[in-house]
Every structure is written in C-alpha cells, then in structure tokens.
Amino acid sequence: MTDFLVQFGPPHDAEHAVRLLRERPHLDARPVHPFDFPWGRVWVMPPPGEGYRPARVEGRLVAAAGRPRLSGVEHEAGGEAGFTGAWGDLAGRGSVADA
C-alpha cells in the first residue's frame, strides 16, 4: 500500500517525516520520495513492485494508491515510474486536480 505525509507551510525536519514512514514493521528499506510545492511538501512511500514510483507529470504529482493496474498496459516495462507516468498521461489535465 502507498503511504504519504503532507506538510503545509515551510519545511521543518525532513528526516523526521522519513522516520515516521519507515519506522514501522517491514518498511525500513522502502524508498520515500519528497515533493516540494509552494504550499508545503509531500512525502510518498510507494507500494512494492515495479512501476509505482511517484512522478511529476505536467507539473502534477501522480502517485498510485495500492498497486493498481491499467487494462492492456504493461507498465512494469516503463521503468520505476511506469504506472504513474502512464496514468498521468492518460488522465490529462482536465480530469485530475492541479497541484
């Protein structure tokens, strides 16, 4: 499952946010990806598996909740952000809220 933290306002202790996500059973080795915005910061710990690394697509943050699939798309072949890149391209600006 994907976990994330959202911090509003200026960044405080980034390492504390990473510890909050990783200091749980079986999650200490999972990657945590930070994303900065004018209003604050988001940390995303993607689910295990290929293709679920969160990505910026056309200025938007795209992250998977769980390990979803796109019908007819072999997203694992698309690299670390195969799913999120494919979803960001398919969704388009009009159907997903801008960050």
Per-residue 3-state assignment (H helix, E strand, C coil) for the chain: CCEEEEEECCCCCHHHHHHHHHCCCCCCCCCCEEEEECCEEEEEECCCCCCCCCEEECCEEECCCCCCCCCCCCHHHHCCCHHHHHHHHHHHHHHCCCC
Domain chopping of the chain, boundaries: 3-94
Average pLDDT over residues 33-56: 87
Q: What predicted TM-score, i.e. pTM, was given to this entire model?
A: 0.70
Average pLDDT of the segment spanning 33-61:
86
pLDDT greater than 50 at residue 6: yes
